[in-house]
Structure 1
Amino acid sequence: MQQPKLATIEDVAAIAGVSIATVSRAVNEPAKVADETRRRVNEAIARTGYTTNAMARSLRMRRSKMILILAPDVGDPNFSNILVGLETEASKRGYGVLIGNTQNDPTREADYLRFISSNQADGLILLTGHLPFGLSLDEAVVRPPAMVAVNEPVPGDLVPFVGVDNFEGARIAADHLISQGHRRIAFIGHSTSKMVNTLREGGYREALNNAGIAIDPMLILDGDGTTESGRQAAEHMFVRDVLPTAFLCVNDATALGVIIALNARGYDLPRQFSIMGFDDISFASFVTPSLTTMKQPRSKIGEAAMNLLLAVVEGREVEQRKVLLRSELVLRNSVSRLGLGAR
């Protein structure tokens, strides 16, 4: 029995009414082809079965057209909208995504890296803030995969980064509290291991220094970004009997913990204490009082990160290895002007 003839790129071009070069671009660089043209090419590919041939060519090029995303916790409210941006941009360019939920487990990270070593993924998006366990950037040992860090930079500036300007965002947040008359402003989220925390604390310190406000070490407390760490930090303030008039929290989850602790003690918020968050995650507008915070453009972060990674994957020249987007001050009800009713 005679085998059916395999479809060729010429067949696709003839059915779609475009040139062979246009078909090639639609398959390999879909973002460079008009939507209507790309639709006709895709329909022709579906009719002819040329998809199989395109996949075989991709394998010969050792391209999987898949991107591996490593995240410490896919339940993190920051993750979903970043993922939307990552996936949207990848899809436009003909790539798919694989999501690895690492739970900060070195064994899981090493397991996920097998997708890279076995050519099942062309590049890595890191939301973990560190290199995966067992991965070296020493090209003398092994050529490292294309990588971009998102949301939290990897120490050493060796991995391209896309996120918000955490230092500047925290400075704006602290400036807002200062503009409302606050001088005793606590920072909840000190950390020696998380760069995001360090950058945001740096912005807080810069704002106080610029305003001529002495920094009180007693008003800077550790925090790991969880709601419980915020609650514990607020309680610790009362144990110390060193109280601020306002709290600048390293993120919204921490701010929620502070609000829970103060509400439990019966304080009238924000009349007696103001609370400022960072990130503008989904619950920020639903807590009582609704949270004044700094909004991250998470979808745009995802899109910019995927664009940068695919430039590296495809061997195109990269102009910027660090892309910092601006966060936006969102005014709600958790911050008020310092007055006679406040501490």
Structure 2
Amino acid sequence: MSATKPATIEDVALIAGVSIATVSRALNEPGKVADSTRRKILDAVAQTGYTTNAMARSLRMRRANMILILAPDVGDPNFSNILVGLETEASKRGYGILIGNTQNDPERETNYLRFISSNQADGIILLTGHLPYGLEAAGPVTRMPPMVAVNEPVPYAAIPFVGVDNFEGARVATDHLISQGHTRIAFIGKSTNRAVAMLRERGYRTALASAGVAIDERFVLEADGTTESGRGAAERMFVRDQLPTAFFCVNDATALGVIIALSARGYDLPHDFSVMGFDDISYASFVTPSLTTMKQPRLQIGEASMDLLLAMLEGEDVQKREILLRSELILRNSVALRRD
């Protein structure tokens, strides 16, 4: 190409050996073009520099073709596979992603909103469990950008939600402990402000009630989802006159803390105590004993979330939609038959 003559879509089509219409589809709706053809077209785009023209087209349409993802902690082991699903689905549809690692900092969240106000991003994926700080200052609710909450629903807001069925998953997990003969089952992870924790506690309570097992409120302990909070909760349990025989933990990180506390006291797991987690994060199969848990379909959650957000961007009315995926019981070595 000449250094002074802008590349055209005809140039791309000629080099790739396809029609202009195929080039247009590959750039605007990549999911409708075969992978081999799309690769040839992208190679031709790179050779000609037509990318600049494509960006100008996006500006004319007032569409950035970028999605802002707000996450409280990108180091969370639940995040990586969700991100893969989000990015994979976005890429299929011709979108890129911007990741905002908020660290639950209001100022950071407000700063990330500049991508929306400056038209550098078209919509938001929320993994934070709340509306972005500073959104109210950006304009009235009717002008909110399209948003989808993932993993953690946003309370009191008509934000579509995609995640695992936390209530049902917790019910299945507790049922499994009951099937192993456990009736004194502790729940570690009580919370009054995290929707996921509250749903999992409800599932635990429902399973016990359905089995005719009385709930001992002394076995329901607060924890914030961290390993240290799980360790601390298990330690507090030992001031009780009666101990549980099994622990159902709100997530795998909490379960690890419980295992650490019990092992430090010299208990043989799962002979002395059974421990159940939730999420099936990467290290769940490597701890000792390996953790029985509920597996979240994180890749599918990411794909479904992005698909829903892009449907909103295309004008579909999905404001009250909720997509709940099933978790899977993963049997390992931390749960055993009650022996007392």
Q: Which moved more, 1:10-19 or 1:171-180?
A: 10-19
Work out whether residues 228 and 254 of structure 1, in 8 Å CA contact, stay in contact via their aligned partners in 2.
yes
Is residue 2:99 matched to residue 1:99? yes
State percent identity of aligned pairs: 76
User: What's the counterpart of residue 199 of structure 2?
Assistant: 199
- The superposition leaves residues 234-274 of structure 1 with CA deviations (integer Å, 9 ceiling, x where unpaired) of 11111133311100000000001111111111111111110
- The superposition leaves residues 288-338 of structure 1 with CA deviations (integer Å, 9 ceiling, x where unpaired) of 111100011111111111111122123346598211111111111110001
CA distance in 2 between counterparts of 1:139 and 1:214 reads 50
- The superposition leaves residues 201-251 of structure 1 with CA deviations (integer Å, 9 ceiling, x where unpaired) of 111011111111111111111111011111111111111333111000000
Work out whether residues 218 and 242 of structure 1, in 8 Å CA contact, stay in contact via their aligned partners in 2.
no
Structure 2 unaligned blocks of 5 or more: none
SS at match of 1:77: coil
User: What's the counterpart of residue 268 of structure 2?
Assistant: 268
CA distance in 2 between counterparts of 1:19 and 1:311 reads 28
CA distance in 2 between counterparts of 1:47 and 1:108 reads 38
User: What's the counterpart of residue 178 of structure 2?
Assistant: 178
CA distance in 1 between counterparts of 2:317 and 2:144 reads 17
SS at match of 1:239: coil
User: What's the counterpart of residue 45 of structure 2?
Assistant: 45
User: What's the counterpart of residue 217 of structure 2?
Assistant: 217
- The superposition leaves residues 148-178 of structure 1 with CA deviations (integer Å, 9 ceiling, x where unpaired) of 1111111125111111101110000000000
CA distance in 2 between counterparts of 1:136 and 1:202 reads 32
User: What's the counterpart of residue 258 of structure 1?
Assistant: 258
> What are the within-5 Å matches in structure 2 for residues 246-325 of structure 1?
246-316=246-316, 318=318, 321-325=321-325
Structure 1 unaligned blocks of 5 or more: none
**How large is the RMSD of aligned CA atoms in angstroms?**
2.0
Q: State the 1:183 CA deviation.
A: 0.6
Kindly provide the amino acid, as one letter, of the partner of residue 259 in structure 1. Answer: I
User: What's the counterpart of residue 124 of structure 2?
Assistant: 124
User: What's the counterpart of residue 143 of structure 2?
Assistant: 143
CA distance in 1 between counterparts of 2:88 and 2:305 reads 11
User: What's the counterpart of residue 84 of structure 2?
Assistant: 84
SS at match of 1:163: strand
Kindly provide the amino acid, as one letter, of the partner of residue 63 in structure 2. Answer: R
CA distance in 2 between counterparts of 1:144 and 1:3 reads 42
Work out whether residues 158 and 320 of structure 2, in 8 Å CA contact, stay in contact via their aligned partners in 1.
no
CA distance in 2 between counterparts of 1:194 and 1:87 reads 26
Q: State the 1:37 CA deviation.
A: 2.2
The aligned length equals 339
**Normalising by structure 2, what TM-score?**
0.94
Q: State the 1:24 CA deviation.
A: 1.7
SS at match of 2:199: helix
